[in-house]
């Protein structure tokens, strides 16, 4: 399990100064360093277009770490592990120079080096960067490398089906599917990982997990933050691409897929794909009834585009066209600048005429990770009054603090375990589901609801 700690590691980060890297990746590397969960000989090579000192890369690290968790010595260690390389991403020569530098670093670190290229760059730049890496031979082992390097890619993987296919081809041509790790950090959140165990190791739920007993499934992810400093990224992305096509459709698949032959990577991916392929494509004439979009009221000002039709809230009603789920409403929805930060999957069971309320099983992805089942109980006292109570499993209470999803993602990529990453086929299937919605929404702002910051999702 911890064999990976033996081999030296080089993580090459494209887009190290970008928002995602600053918000998620670098804090995760900090925590892993603090807990000694990275190989002792680890080197981080940050790539950026401009000359940037390492100190600037980590300037905001402290803000991202919870108060008492911050340890200056660990931050310094991270700083010392890092070097920056300035590159013009369009210049083939710069990829050769990078390779020379990495070979030197590799030689200094000793035999058996693993190399990971982490690409947190706009989808439009991806194909060219991967080709250039390939042309310069970065995809092959060199020097004292122990294995073929891996490509770690941030979502959204592509912009639509056509662009995603081009990205898949580019990664395939040079690195190959086995070496390509497409991050969906929602899959690495503790509750998301627990979905399959919960479903398949508890016979009680296994027998009632179908349309006969389940009335609807809602997968939601609400954020209170707006787009922060990501105007350019968000103007090209929107909530449908940023959240629904990736995180939420993946979660829906986990909660509705059939039992894989084994709970291991290939079998899970095969069943997940089968489920994704059975989600109906939203057809052009269904977009106005099955898809809802909104934009928070200060968005246009933030992005300096008074005509922007980019959605910061999106909701889709989906149909899984198989015997287990046909006719059960499946809803996925996500938005920014809403009244609460909360991601969960709510499974509502069918009611009967005597019941006062429905039973709902909530997988709480965040905050307060856990699982809650709402039940009816008699209120203490002489009267026969019932009320809804919660039966609850809470991670923090049972296990203490759990590792952050990004930390898990990095370690899995280092260990070469693809279970928590999206396969190329899964990504393409998800684009297919939303393709017509993307098309229509890009053509006009019809039915774009403008909502006040802090709104309740039910009001959109
Ligand atoms: C990212 C999205 O994938 O997830 C961001 O690009 C979003 O827009 C982030 O803010 C949310 O992640 P988490 O783990 O804080 O829910």
Residue 436 domain flag: yes
Instruction: Report the residue among 242, 244, 344, 420 best suited for mutation to probe ligand 1: largest number of ligand atoms under 8 A from its CB.
Output: 242
Please identify, among 110, 137, 154, the residue that sits at the C-terminal boundary of a domain: 154
Task: List, chain by chain if needed, residues with CB within 6 Å of any ligand 1 atom.
Answer: 223, 242
Rounded to whole angstroms, how far apart are CA atoms 21 and 84?
A: 14
Average pLDDT in the chain = 93
Which numbered atom of ligand 1 lies nearest the CA of 184? Answer: 3
pLDDT band at 395 (very low <50, low <70, confident <90, very high): confident
If you measure from the C-alpha of residue 24 to the centroid of ligand 1, how many angstroms do you get, rounded to a whole number?
9
pLDDT of residue 2: 66
pLDDT band at 353 (very low <50, low <70, confident <90, very high): confident
If you measure from the C-alpha of residue 223 to the centroid of ligand 1, how many angstroms do you get, rounded to a whole number?
8
Residue with the nearest Cα to atom 5 of ligand 1?
242
Residue 381 domain flag: yes
Reference 276, options 322, 207, 313, 235; nearest CA is 322
CB 361 within 8 A of CB 217: no
Annotated catalytic residue: which of 247, 269, 304, 456?
247
Kindly state whether residues 306 and 205 are assigned to the same domain: yes
pLDDT of residue 315: 98
Kindly state whether residues 231 and 122 are assigned to the same domain: no
**Mean pLDDT, residues 192-202:** 91
Instruction: Report the residue among 223, 296, 302, 407 best suited for mutation to probe ligand 1: largest number of ligand atoms under 8 A from its CB.
Output: 223
Kindly state whether residues 148 and 257 are assigned to the same domain: no
If you measure from the C-alpha of residue 42 to the centroid of ligand 1, how many angstroms do you get, rounded to a whole number?
27
What is the residue-wise DSSP string for 390-419? EEEEEHHHHHSSPPPHHHHHHHHHHHT--T
CB-side neighbour CA atoms (13 Å) of 200: 16
If you measure from the C-alpha of residue 155 to the centroid of ligand 1, how many angstroms do you get, rounded to a whole number?
10
Kindly state whether residues 309 and 420 are assigned to the same domain: yes
If you measure from the C-alpha of residue 239 to the centroid of ligand 1, how many angstroms do you get, rounded to a whole number?
10
Number of separate domains in the chain: 2
Residue 168 domain flag: no
| Collapsed DSSP state (helix, strand, coil) of residue 336 | coil
Kindly state whether residues 373 and 289 are assigned to the same domain: yes
Kindly state whether residues 149 and 191 are assigned to the same domain: no
* pLDDT over 80 (residue 277): yes
**Mean pLDDT, residues 171-177:** 94
Kindly state whether residues 227 and 138 are assigned to the same domain: no
What is the CATH classification number for the domain harbouring 36? 3.40.50.720
Kindly state whether residues 37 and 90 are assigned to the same domain: yes
**Mean pLDDT, residues 94-114:** 93
Residues whose CB falls within 8 Å of the CB of residue 352, separated by 6 or more in sequence, listed in order:
none
pLDDT band at 365 (very low <50, low <70, confident <90, very high): very high
Residue 141 domain flag: yes
Please identify, among 129, 154, 179, the residue that sits at the C-terminal boundary of a domain: 154
Please identify, among 106, 139, 154, the residue that sits at the C-terminal boundary of a domain: 154
Kindly state whether residues 264 and 326 are assigned to the same domain: yes
What is the residue-wise DSSP string for 4-63? GGGS-EEEEEETTTSHHIIIIIHHHHHHHHHTT-S-SSEEEEEEESS---HHHHTTTHHH
Residue 49 domain flag: yes
pLDDT band at 167 (very low <50, low <70, confident <90, very high): very high
How far, in Å, are 202, 223, 238, 303, 308 from residue 231 at the CA level?
Answer: 45, 16, 10, 5, 11
Phi/psi-derived region of residue 245, left when phi > 0, alpha when psi is between -120 and 50, beta in every other case = alpha
| Collapsed DSSP state (helix, strand, coil) of residue 166 | helix
How far, in Å, are 10, 22, 99, 210, 307 from residue 125 at the CA level?
Answer: 22, 19, 19, 43, 26
* pLDDT over 70 (residue 302): yes
Q: Higher-confidence residue: 404 or 390?
A: 390
Residue 175 domain flag: no
Residue 173 domain flag: no
Kindly state whether residues 329 and 429 are assigned to the same domain: yes
425: Cα separation from own chain's centroid: 16
Tell me, yes or no, if 247 is annotated catalytic: yes
What is the CATH classification number for the domain harbouring 227? 3.30.360.10
Residue 145 domain flag: yes
Query: Is the entire prediction scored with pTM above 0.75?
Result: yes
* pLDDT over 70 (residue 456): yes
* pLDDT over 90 (residue 74): yes
Kindly state whether residues 102 and 147 are assigned to the same domain: yes
pLDDT band at 1 (very low <50, low <70, confident <90, very high): low
Kindly state whether residues 207 and 122 are assigned to the same domain: no
Which numbered atom of ligand 1 lies nearest the CA of 237? Answer: 6
Q: Higher-confidence residue: 455 or 403?
A: 455
Tell me how crowded residue 67 is: count the other CB atoms within 10 A of its CB: 6
**Residue 131 lies in domain:** 3-154
């Amino acid at each position: 399990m911890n064999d990976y700690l033996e081999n030296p590691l080089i993580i090459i980060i494209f887009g190290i100064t970008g928002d995602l890297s600053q918000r998620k990746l670098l804090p995760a590397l900090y925590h892993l360093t603090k807990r000694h969960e990275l190989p002792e000989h680890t080197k981080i090579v940050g790539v950026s277009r401009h000359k940037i000192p390492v100190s600037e890369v980590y300037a905001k690290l402290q803000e991202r770490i919870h108060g008492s968790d911050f340890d200056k010595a660990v931050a310094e260690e991270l700083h010392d592990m890092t070097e920056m390389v300035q590159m013009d991403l369009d210049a083939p020569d710069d990829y050769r120079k990078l390779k020379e530098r990495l070979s030197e670093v590799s030689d200094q670190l000793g035999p058996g080096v693993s190399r990971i290229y982490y690409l947190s760059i706009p989808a439009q730049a991806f194909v060219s960067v991967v080709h250039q890496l390939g042309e310069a031979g970065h995809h092959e082992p060199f020097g004292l490398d122990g294995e073929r390097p891996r490509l770690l890619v941030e979502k959204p993987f592509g912009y639509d089906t056509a662009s995603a296919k081009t990205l898949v081809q580019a990664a395939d041509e040079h690195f190959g599917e086995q070496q390509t790790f497409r991050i969906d950090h929602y899959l690495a959140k503790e509750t998301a990982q627990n979905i399959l165990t919960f479903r398949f190791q508890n016979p009680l739920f296994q027998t009632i997990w179908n349309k006969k007993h389940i009335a609807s499934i809602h997968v939601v992810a609400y954020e209170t933050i707006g787009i922060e400093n990501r105007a350019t990224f968000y103007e090209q992305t929107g909530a449908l691409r940023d959240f629904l096509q990736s995180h939420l459709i993946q979660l829906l698949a986990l909660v509705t897929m059939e039992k894989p032959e084994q709970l291991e990577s290939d079998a899970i991916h095969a069943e997940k794909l089968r489920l994704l392929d059975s989600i109906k494509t939203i057809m052009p004439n269904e977009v106005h009834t099955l898809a809802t979009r909104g934009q928070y009221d200060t968005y246009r000002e933030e992005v300096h585009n008074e005509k922007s039709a980019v959605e910061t809230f999106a909701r889709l009603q989906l149909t899984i066209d198989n015997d287990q789920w046909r006719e059960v409403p499946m809803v996925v929805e996500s938005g920014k600048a809403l009244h609460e930060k909360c991601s969960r999957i709510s499974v509502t069971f069918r009611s009967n005429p005597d019941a006062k309320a429905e039973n709902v099983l909530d997988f709480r992805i965040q905050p307060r990770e856990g699982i809650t089942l709402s039940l009816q109980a008699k209120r203490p006292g002489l009267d026969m009054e019932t009320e809804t109570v919660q039966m609850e499993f809470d991670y923090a209470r049972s296990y203490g603090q759990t590792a952050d999803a990004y930390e898990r993602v990095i370690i899995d990529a280092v260990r070469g375990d693809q279970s928590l990453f999206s396969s190329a086929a899964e990504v393409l299937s998800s684009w297919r589901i939303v393709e017509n919605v993307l098309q229509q929404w890009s053509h006009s702002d019809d039915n774009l609801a403008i909502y006040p910051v802090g709104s309740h999702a039910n009001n959109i």
